[in-house]
Homo-oligomer: A and B are copies of this chain.
Amino acid sequence: MTKSYESVRKTVSAEENPIQLLFDLLEGVIVFTEEEKKALLKEVVIETYPKGTILVREGEYKSPCYFVLKGCVRKYYEVDGEEKTTAFYTESDSIGSSSCTNRRMATGYYLECLEETIVSVGTEESESSFFERFPRFEAICRKQTEEQLHELSEVLAQYIISSPEQRYLNLLKTQPQLLARVPQYHLASFIGVKPESLSRIRKRIMTREQA
């Protein structure tokens, strides 16, 4: 069963220390000054959602952008009554939304937490005011977004040039942790086959490895 966005917000307990998690993940690319850290601590919005929460629904006009601190989020579309999975987001992944760039478009997809998920939540407004105060982050974010664009362009290309079996092998290679965290039928949907076909693909791979 899925729960609505509003009903499940809760305050994060100090034990979980998500702020430290945020700094740990970001400090791979940014070294913060004390002043920047203080400003970020004051501005940052951290939210925790239980497994099964629907963060965004098809047809919504406004949804924030998320940065995943912990957990796993699935993006899917409803096509003729069937859920088709198009992405998984885990630790350090950003989830953009049309409303972060263009407020006129309704979202065409759903975002579902496959695990209890901790995110930092951003809006265009909160980003802009932070950039105004600390302009150097504008350049850092531009470069990060360019990196993401390049990576996504590679993901698209690899999806197009690969068979379902190759797509599964790509997942094994690039996101092995997903395979243990995500139910098989979501993985099957993502690589474009029925769950039975994914079972056959996995058997084929295992037989080859044992040979």
With contacts A139-B131, A143-B101, A192-B160 taken as known, whether A152 is within 8 angstroms of B153 at the C-beta atoms is yes
Chain B nearest CB from A169 CB (Å) reads 14
User: A129 → chain B, closest Cβ, in Å?
Assistant: 13
The dominant DSSP class at the A interface is helix
A79 to B190, CA, bound (A): 22
In Å, the complex CA distance between A97 and B139 comes to 18
List chain A positions with a Cβ less than 8 A from chain B: 75, 77, 79, 84-87, 96-98, 100-102, 108-109, 131, 135, 138-139, 141-143, 145-150, 152-157, 159-161, 190, 192
Q: Which of B85, B142, B153, B156 contacts A138 (CB 8 A)?
A: B142
Taken together as a complex, chains A and B put the C-alpha atoms of A168 and B147 apart, in Å, by: 29
A-B contact pairs, 15 of them (CB 8 A): A77-B157, A86-B161, A96-B149, A96-B153, A100-B150, A101-B143, A109-B157, A131-B139, A138-B138, A138-B142, A141-B142, A142-B142, A145-B146, A149-B149, A152-B152
